[in-house]
Amino acid sequence: MQQTKSRYPTVTYLSAPEMIRLVRRLGVPACIAGVAERIEREFLRWNEFDKSARVACHSNVGTIELMPVADAEQYAFKYVNGHPANWRLGLPTVMAFGVLADVHTGAPRLLSELTLTTAIRTAAMSGVAARALARRNSRRMALIGNGAQSEFQALAFRDLVGVRELHLFDIDRAASDKLAANLCGQGMEVHIFDSTADAVRGVDIVTTVTADKANATILTPEMIEPGMHVNAVGGDCPGKTELARAVVEAATVFVEFEPQSRIEGEIQQMPADFEVTEFWRVLAGVVAGRSSEMEVTLFDSVGFALEDFAALGFMRDQAMALGIGERIELLPEADDPKDLYGLVGASVAA
């Protein structure tokens, strides 16, 4: 009997092992560069997207969020958590997966791991922002917080910005030692410091990637030097910040999606009328990234769904080109789409 082709679309599934395989095939630097290029492309289509702040469930130990975005063809969402104490349980602080779906039918097309991919896209976004906001000759960066995100940040700034010297600090010295070991042979001069103040002295860029869910003051005003670019990554939910309010007040501040950043970013400390600029406007040439060599710029990064849209698209395309990924039947297929009960109702006699 000849089998007819199913009208139901199969879903491409990129599991964690398959994503690791994909990233190893391409190399981390190539993945960061590819996602960065895709982020820039999508940000230049800013007004074509249906955007909203992420939907979050907060507890006293962490956050679980859904991050949706769509254009006229594709809908994407990411499920992601942030639980700073997970390391005590042997779990990552951040775990994520995501979906791409067809806007015209609602059918899912891609189901993918996003834990590794989120680290790549976060680093790519940092590099894209710094390339537009930092001084052009920036070669020295302090990296405060040396956990799971830090290697990706370092490589993004090396390749996208030109950073060649890294100053490291983490309250856990073992984390800094781990980062320094992983960066050995990567073409960067690495120094470990005993305090944030020592690490940031004399650098062009400061990246903060700390995990504690607290209103922390990782950077204080006396640490900020004229012309610095601050890339604040760790403050990404209500009640979680890294910068003293005076640091934010004194900087020219750029954000991803303002309605979300007002709730979750460093600017949650500021009044509602505090002036910020959405970063897409810089890429589009509507506003300048910095006005002088002495200006202090701040990218208040919280992570936005459009970045995940870009990362999912890049990883899907690369997986298809390399033949990586599985096809799974995520949807129940009925002969009559109006008779879903028919799939199960006759299985047990009355």
pLDDT tens-place string over residues 236-246: 777 889 999 99
Parallel/antiparallel/unpaired status of strands 96-102 and 74-82: antiparallel
Q: Out of 159, 204, 236, 300, pick the active-site residue.
A: 236
Asked if 39 and 128 count as a contact pair (C-beta separation under 8 A), the reply is: yes
Asked if 324 and 21 count as a contact pair (C-beta separation under 8 A), the reply is: yes
234 exposure class (CB count in 10 Å sphere: 0-12, 13-18, 19+):
buried
Parallel/antiparallel/unpaired status of strands 11-14 and 326-328: antiparallel
Query: Which candidate, 117, 76, 127, places its Cα nearest to that of 95?
Result: 117
Q: Please state, rounded to an integer, the average pLDDT across all residues of the chain.
A: 93
CA distance 312 to 11: 14
CA distance 205 to 258: 23
**Token pair recorded at residue 43:** 């940000």
CA distance 45 to 38: 11
Q: Is the pTM of this model over 0.75?
A: yes
Considering only CA atoms, give the Rg of the chain. 22
| pLDDT classification of 7: cutoffs 50, 70, 90 | low
Confidence (pLDDT) at 228 = 98
Query: Which candidate, 39, 76, 71, 55, places its Cα nearest to that of 279?
Result: 39
Residue 177 scores a pLDDT above 70: yes
Query: Which candidate, 97, 68, 61, places its Cα nearest to that of 80?
Result: 97
| pLDDT classification of 32: cutoffs 50, 70, 90 | very high
Q: Output DSSP code: residue 323.
A: T
State phi, psi for 149 to the nearest 5 degrees: -80, -20
Average pLDDT over residues 248-260: 97
All domains of the chain in start order, with CATH: 11-116+306-335 (3.30.1780.10), 135-303 (3.40.50.720)
Annotated catalytic residue 300: no
Give the pLDDT confidence of 102-133 residue by residue, as tens digits: 999 999 999 999 999 999 999 999 999 999 99
